[in-house]
Amino acid sequence: MLSDRDRLLAALFALQLLAIFVFGIVLVNGTDLGPATSTTRQTLLAAPTLSAAPTAQATGRAATAGSQGQASTTTVSSGGGAVSPGGGSGPAGVAKGRPIKIGAIVSQTGAINFAASAQGTKAYLDLVNAQGGVNGHRLELDLRDDQLDPSRGRQQAQQLLAEGVFTFAAWNAPQTEAAIVPFLEQNKIPLIGSYGVGDEYHSRWAYAFQSHHYGFEMGRFLAQEGAVKHPGVVFISGASAKANDAQVRAFTAGVKAGGKNLAPGDVVQVDVTKVSYDDVVTQFRLGGVDGIATLIDQTAYNRLQQSMDRQAYHPVHVADPLFTDPTVTQSSSTEGTLVASDLMPVDTGGPEVQQYVSSVRKAFGARAQISYLGEAGWLDAKLLVEALRRMGNDISRDNLLRTMDSLPADVGRGFTRQLHFGPGTDHDPNRCLNLTKVVHGTSTTYKDFACDEENFDR
């Protein structure tokens, strides 16, 4: 049995251990005894809402593609802030000749992943660095994988900020992004290029270059096909009923713009984990639907195509760009499928797109994932670099926003038709989709880009 004296000594020893632990932390992290009301500390936790699942418009682009690649070259940073102290508080800038640190969060593991996007971003920044960087600045990419976990993603955003990234860019992290806009606004840090989740299209701090509402152009393309008398739509719905309704409105308006009508019962919303599309196909087939527009993910396309083959149901089909993902099985029954995309397809893209293809292949070899998502990651980096080039020596966040807002509409040439930039909070830059046709398993030119100006969020 321990005596009282022994117990007292034990307690003192425990307190000593605690003190060592605490002061060890102080040494590691630095003391922070200031008031808890500074902008940084308040806002580090001051991000609001999170979303449960990829949103409706996004699931059309949601990827399970990804890569198994490890970079053959690297631009990842080794620490050291490139931005003036204070993380995201106030107008941060980068001194001349110092590296520009870029923070990217990309969901690269989990049920869906976007590693192809990370490859595209990394390959582009490697290319720029190999050519000497931007205005004397080397670009350092700090790339994180949130594993589709918003808690992890929030910490990563916080850490990136604390470690002095100049800007966030090329994100593809739907769960983390669902809550990120207030975080960006309160920390005054831009996000250049993202997956595109709800609020990001209405914040002056966020720039999502992918089209917000695919539905309008897809619906119009479908209705304009002469053979279609009775159109139908199937899309993967998200957690936001409001966003789902907006997508339905976009489809309905698009079909109407093409001269046809879409009955409410002919719009089917499905879950991302739907095991079989047999029931959807049965409904369309028995309902006489002869043309469908689909906004779903890659594995869903494989299941949908299986169901269509089983029931020998082959209507006119307008699909989203994930239909051409390498993981979607192409066969004789997919021939003639029309693919609507806000980016030029890899198969038909010009020299700019082919540069993306060759660079990623060179960087990642056999592990390279060439896809629409990779193109998106590449374009995000390209547009950021374009803005940095135009900023000259004034590498500050305010100037980055000003420069982004003044980018010319053709800055995405080779990848997309035109981007609508401008000051304000209505950031919905990409409203144009083109249409290609699958012939012998590859995309061929079918219809040029068409654009709309309507905002279906309202």
Partner 1 sequence: MKLTFSLALGGIPIGAMYALQALGIVIVYKTSKVFNFASGAIGLACAYFGSTLHAHGIPSLPAVLLTIVLGVAIGVLMELTVRPVKGALTGTIVTLGWLLVLTGGVGWVYGTQVATNEPVRLLSDKQAFDVGGVLVYSYQQLGLLVIAGALAAGLALFFRLSGLGTATRAVSEAPDAARLLGIQVDRVNLVAWGLGGAVSGLAGVLVAPLLGGLNTTALIILTVQALAAALVGRLSSLPMTFAGGVVLGMLQPVVHRALASFSGLKGTDELTAFIVVLVALLFMRRSGRKDVVSGGLVPVPIRALPTGRLAALSFAGVALGALLLPILLGDRGNLSRYNLTQVAVWGTATLSLVLLVGVVGQVSVCQAVFMGCGAYGTGIALAHGLPFLLAGIAGALLAAAVAALVGLPAIRLEPLELAIATLSLSFTADRFLYSWPPLASDDGKREVVRPGFAGVDPGHVAAGNRAYAWLALGVFIVACFAVASLRRGRTGAALTALRSSEPATAAMGFSVVSVKLRGFAASGFLAGLAGALYAGLVQGASGAPFDFTRSITLLAYAVIIGVGSVPGAFFGGLVLTLTTVDFGATSDVANGQVVSLTTLFTGALLIGVLTLSPDGVAGAVGRLRLRRGPATSPAEVFA
Touching partner 1, residues 258-277 (CB under 8 A) = 265, 268-269, 271, 273-276
> Is there binding between residue 335 and partner 1 (CB under 8 A)?
no
Site for partner 1 in 142-181 (CB under 8 A): 142-145, 147-152, 154-156, 158-159, 162-163, 175, 178-179
Rounded distance between C-alpha atoms, residue 311 and residue 285, angstroms? 8
For residue 303, the surrounding DSSP H or E stretch is: helix 298-310
Rounded distance between C-alpha atoms, residue 429 and residue 2, angstroms? 73
Applying CB under 8 A, among 39, 239, 314, 361 the residue interacting with partner 1 is 239
Rounded distance between C-alpha atoms, residue 279 and residue 284, angstroms? 9
Rounded distance between C-alpha atoms, residue 294 and residue 286, angstroms? 18
* Least distance (Å) between residue 369 CB and partner 1: 9
> Is there binding between residue 334 and partner 1 (CB under 8 A)?
no
Rounded distance between C-alpha atoms, residue 355 and residue 12, angstroms? 66
* Least distance (Å) between residue 445 CB and partner 1: 27
* Least distance (Å) between residue 232 CB and partner 1: 13
40: helix, coil or strand? Answer: helix
* Least distance (Å) between residue 58 CB and partner 1: 12
| Binding region for partner 1 (CB under 8 A) out of 89-97, 301-309, 416-424, 445-453 | 301-309
Q: How crowded is residue 396: how many other Cβ atoms within 10 Å of its Cβ?
A: 18
Q: Token pair of 417, please?
A: 């038709």
Q: Which residues face 269 on adjacent strands?
A: 235
Site for partner 1 in 189-208 (CB under 8 A): 198
* Least distance (Å) between residue 270 CB and partner 1: 9
| Binding region for partner 1 (CB under 8 A) out of 27-35, 250-258, 383-391, 446-454 | 27-35
> Is there binding between residue 92 and partner 1 (CB under 8 A)?
no
| Binding region for partner 1 (CB under 8 A) out of 90-98, 249-257, 303-311, 393-401 | 303-311
Count Cβ neighbours within 10 Å for each residue of 192-209 and write b for 16 or more, e otherwise: bbbbbbbbbbbbbbbbbb
* Least distance (Å) between residue 45 CB and partner 1: 5
* Least distance (Å) between residue 286 CB and partner 1: 5
Pairing of strands 100-105, 167-169: parallel
Q: How crowded is residue 430: how many other Cβ atoms within 10 Å of its Cβ?
A: 24
* Least distance (Å) between residue 177 CB and partner 1: 12
Which is nearer to partner 1, 182 or 414 (by Cβ)?
182
> Is there binding between residue 348 and partner 1 (CB under 8 A)?
no
| Binding region for partner 1 (CB under 8 A) out of 137-145, 344-352, 406-414, 440-448 | 137-145
Alpha helices by DSSP H, listed for 258-296, are 278-287
N-terminal to C-terminal alpha carbon distance within the chain: 74
> Is there binding between residue 240 and partner 1 (CB under 8 A)?
yes
Q: How crowded is residue 366: how many other Cβ atoms within 10 Å of its Cβ?
A: 7
| Binding region for partner 1 (CB under 8 A) out of 9-17, 90-98, 125-133, 350-358 | 9-17
Q: Say if residues 63 and 108 touch (Cβ distance below 8 Å).
A: no
308: closest CA among 327, 325, 332, 326? 332
Site for partner 1 in 349-378 (CB under 8 A): 364, 367
Q: Token pair of 171, please?
A: 């994100």
Give the DSSP per-residue string, 360-383: HHHHHGGG---SHHHHHHHHHHHH
* Least distance (Å) between residue 408 CB and partner 1: 31
Which is nearer to partner 1, 48 or 441 (by Cβ)?
48
Which is nearer to partner 1, 174 or 412 (by Cβ)?
174
Applying CB under 8 A, among 20, 26, 95, 439 the residue interacting with partner 1 is 26
Number of C-alpha atoms within 13 angstroms, CB side, residue 351?
0
| Binding region for partner 1 (CB under 8 A) out of 218-226, 227-235, 322-330, 346-354 | 322-330
Site for partner 1 in 420-449 (CB under 8 A): none
Q: Token pair of 269, please?
A: 């919303």
> Is there binding between residue 227 and partner 1 (CB under 8 A)?
no
Which is nearer to partner 1, 143 or 432 (by Cβ)?
143
CA distances to 74, 101, 107, 118, 363 from 78, in Å: 11, 10, 21, 18, 20
> Is there binding between residue 20 and partner 1 (CB under 8 A)?
no
Number of C-alpha atoms within 13 angstroms, CB side, residue 256?
8
> Is there binding between residue 40 and partner 1 (CB under 8 A)?
yes
Number of residues in contact with partner 1 under rule CB under 8 A: 119
Which is nearer to partner 1, 4 or 453 (by Cβ)?
4
